[in-house]
């Protein structure tokens, strides 16, 4: 099938070129952007591996409501052999996240606006749907990861297999509601809104910076960092709630959604500022993770499109 990529004639900034690469296929053929799924997988894999140490310190803060120094001290006390404990679930889940997030977004965007240009409404709707798909597919991975990273449960649940064995003792409905999909509604809200915000403003910020004549990797890095930071700060209460809900395990010790919200509010002194405790590391983690992810994705996409043009 012949593919034609239209590129903006008046504005040739790197961001604009990426935004206006549009795949046009023959009538009756299904639009399928397989490369978008592959590029998303690689970029998320690389950024997750590089930033996992920051993530683990932040997780300890969210669970125990302690300072940065105390979270680092806990990890140091447990020993280096446990520092990367729990990396496999997030590495797998984040790779799948990138696959679904970027791939589903690209497919949805082409369904909403096959030729382009893509409006803010199109980007928001496509981002929202990609977040929904991501939440449904990946919530079980996050659930196992949060149990593994809770230092209080290392003795009882030393491995992923021990956690899965516990889940399978609950019965069919219990496996879903109290096991794999514990805390699903906050996850769904967090992922859908986060994805919508990220994709809505990623390209406009990148395009504006690209017009300033900066090196092509700078706009992508800054755009991803700014988007990741703002999105994470806006949705941080949901992030803390999910971490606390998903760290619970055991059929008899599962508080409801409302009880979990109340417990989070009470344990943080009924102050919004204490819910945001550890915000400095959240900003750092979000900036680095989404900056790297966006820059790597942008780099891979640039290498992919010229080759496709030569082939076609």
- pLDDT (tens digit, 9 = 90+) per residue, 113-156? 887 778 999 999 999 999 999 999 999 988 988 888 777 787 88
Task: Evaluate whether 33 touches 283 at the Cβ level (below 8 Å).
Answer: no
Q: Whole-model pTM?
A: 0.78
- pLDDT (tens digit, 9 = 90+) per residue, 265-309? 998 889 888 888 766 777 778 889 999 999 999 999 888 765 554
- Among 33-37, 63-67, 166-170, the range scoring the smallest mean pLDDT is 63-67
Q: Report the 3 state secondary structure along 228-255.
A: HHHHHHHCHHHHHHHHHHHHCCCHHHCC
Choose between 62 and 92: higher pLDDT. 92
Three-state secondary structure call for residue 23: strand
pLDDT band at 16 (very low <50, low <70, confident <90, very high): low
- pLDDT (tens digit, 9 = 90+) per residue, 77-102? 887 767 777 788 778 888 998 999 99
Choose between 35 and 80: higher pLDDT. 35
Beta partners for 23?
5
């Amino acid at each position: 099938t012949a593919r034609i990529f239209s590129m903006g004639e008046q504005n040739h900034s790197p961001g604009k070129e990426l935004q206006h690469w549009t795949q046009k296929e023959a009538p009756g053929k299904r639009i399928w952007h397989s490369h978008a799924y592959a590029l998303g997988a690689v970029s998320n894999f690389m950024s997750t591996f590089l930033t996992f140490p920051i993530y683990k310190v932040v997780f300890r803060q969210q669970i125990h409501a302690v300072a940065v120094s105390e979270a680092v001290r806990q990890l140091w006390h447990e020993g280096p052999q446990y520092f990367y404990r729990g990396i496999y679930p997030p590495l797998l889940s984040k790779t799948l996240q990138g696959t679904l997030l970027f791939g589903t977004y690209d497919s949805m965007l082409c369904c909403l606006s096959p030729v382009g240009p893509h409006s803010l409404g199109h980007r928001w709707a496509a981002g929202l749907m990609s977040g929904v798909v991501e939440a449904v597919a990946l919530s079980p991975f996050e659930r196992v990861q949060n149990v593994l990273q809770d230092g209080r449960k290392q003795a009882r649940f030393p491995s992923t297999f021990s956690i899965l064995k516990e889940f399978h003792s609950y019965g069919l409905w219990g496996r879903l509601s109290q096991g794999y999909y514990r805390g699903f509604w906050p996850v769904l809200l967090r992922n859908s809104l986060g994805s919508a915000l990220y994709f809505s403003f990623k390209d406009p910020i990148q395009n504006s910076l690209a017009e300033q004549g900066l090196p092509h990797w700078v706009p992508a890095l800054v755009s991803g960092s700014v988007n990741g930071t703002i999105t994470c700060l806006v949705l941080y209460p949901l992030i803390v709630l999910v971490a606390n809900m998903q760290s619970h395990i055991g059929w008899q010790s599962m508080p409801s959604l409302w009880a979990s919200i109340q417990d989070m509010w009470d344990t943080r002194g009924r102050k919004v500022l204490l819910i945001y405790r550890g915000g400095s590391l959240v900003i750092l983690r979000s900036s680095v993770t989404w900056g790297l992810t966006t820059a790597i994705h942008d780099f891979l996409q640039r290498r992919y499109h010229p080759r496709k043009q030569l082939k076609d």
